[in-house]
């Protein structure tokens, strides 16, 4: 008998975007507190690297492109009933607003909003989400609390995710399914490594955080574990801010 309310012992948790960054950290940390993971990502090699880092034995990995509705539908059919879902797959493209275009906007919205929304709906329709399950979206302070220069498309998608979380939380409450988001500030991952922002600019930006550094992927994982666990049983529709104090200023 496990009395730790933060434990995920025996819970089946599905994590998207698990081949890198925050998604990988979430999968690994969830495995350390007892969850049985099902992880998915686009890059097979990196997904295997995540899989090999998981603790415990009963895990599953599935390479899938969640842009593709057929892929998603097939994946949903294959999965067992879930205790938790973490929507972590996401992309960013830095472009000043005057260069925003429909193609990039569509790609960002398809990945950050449409894919997790449609996938959640499929899981529900196929009765793959258990009563009292928890769904967590990894959002961002950008678009929810503030905006980052040159990232209007990303901000718009995360603002939309925020609205989706509230609506889903309300509609799924009768089933006892909770829906929340984690709202991180800048986290040390490779998401900005395409190079339009220099290391120097990142160092400068870091100083704007009252806690004087960017977050670590594990720190987002710990917040996610809380929202997946029984410790947050009465928490739904919330946005858990984790930003080193950035939005206080």
Which residues belong to the active site?
154
Interface map 31-60 toward other proteins (x if CB under 8 A): ------------------------------
Interface residues for other proteins in 102-131 (CB under 8 A)?
A: none
Query: Is 94 an interacting residue with respect to other proteins (CB under 8 A)?
Result: yes
Among candidate residues 182, 167, 169, 11, the one with its CA nearest the CA of residue 90: 182
Q: How far apart are the first and last CA of the chain?
A: 45
Query: Is 200 an interacting residue with respect to other proteins (CB under 8 A)?
Result: yes
Residue 211: CB minimum distance to other proteins, A: 23
SS3 of 182, please?
Answer: strand
Considering the complex, state which of residue 3 and residue 198 has its C-beta at the smaller distance from other proteins. 198
User: How far from 58 is each of 14, 37, 133, 184, CA to CA, in Å?
Assistant: 13, 7, 19, 29
Q: Which two tokens stand for residue 19?
A: 């081949």
Query: Is 99 an interacting residue with respect to other proteins (CB under 8 A)?
Result: yes
- φ/ψ of 141, rounded to 5, equals -65, -25
Pair 145, 183: CB distance under 8 Å: yes
Query: Is 73 an interacting residue with respect to other proteins (CB under 8 A)?
Result: no
Per CB under 8 A, the segment of 5-13, 73-81, 169-177, 190-198 that binds other proteins is 190-198
Residues contributing to the site for other proteins (CB under 8 A) = 94-96, 98-99, 149-150, 195-201
């Amino acid at each position: 008998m496990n009395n730790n309310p933060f434990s995920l012992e025996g819970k089946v948790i599905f994590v998207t975007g698990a081949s890198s960054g925050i998604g990988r950290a979430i999968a690994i940390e969830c495995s350390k507190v007892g969850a049985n993971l099902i992880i998915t990502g686009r890059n097979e090699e990196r997904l295997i690297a995540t899989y090999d880092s998981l603790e415990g034995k009963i895990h599953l990995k599935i390479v899938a492109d969640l842009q593709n509705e057929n892929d998603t539908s097939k994946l949903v059919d294959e999965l067992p009933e879930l205790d938790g879902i973490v929507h972590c797959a996401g992309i960013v493209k830095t472009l000043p607003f005057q260069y925003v275009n429909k193609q990039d906007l569509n790609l960002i919205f398809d990945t950050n909003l449409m894919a997790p929304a449609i996938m959640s709906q499929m899981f529900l329709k196929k009765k793959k989400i258990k009563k009292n399950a928890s769904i967590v979206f990894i959002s961002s302070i950008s678009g929810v609390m503030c905006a980052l220069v040159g990232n209007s498309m990303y901000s718009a998608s995360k603002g939309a995710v925020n609205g989706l979380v509230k609506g889903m939380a309300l509609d799924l409450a009768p089933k006892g399914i909770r829906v929340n988001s984690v709202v991180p500030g800048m986290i040390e991952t490779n998401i900005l490594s395409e190079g339009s922002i220099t290391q120097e600019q990142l160092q400068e930006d870091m100083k704007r955080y009252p806690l004087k550094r960017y977050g670590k992927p594990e720190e987002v994982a710990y917040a996610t574990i809380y929202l997946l666990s029984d410790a947050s049983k009465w928490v739904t529709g919330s946005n858990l801010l984790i930003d080193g104090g950035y939005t206080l200023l």
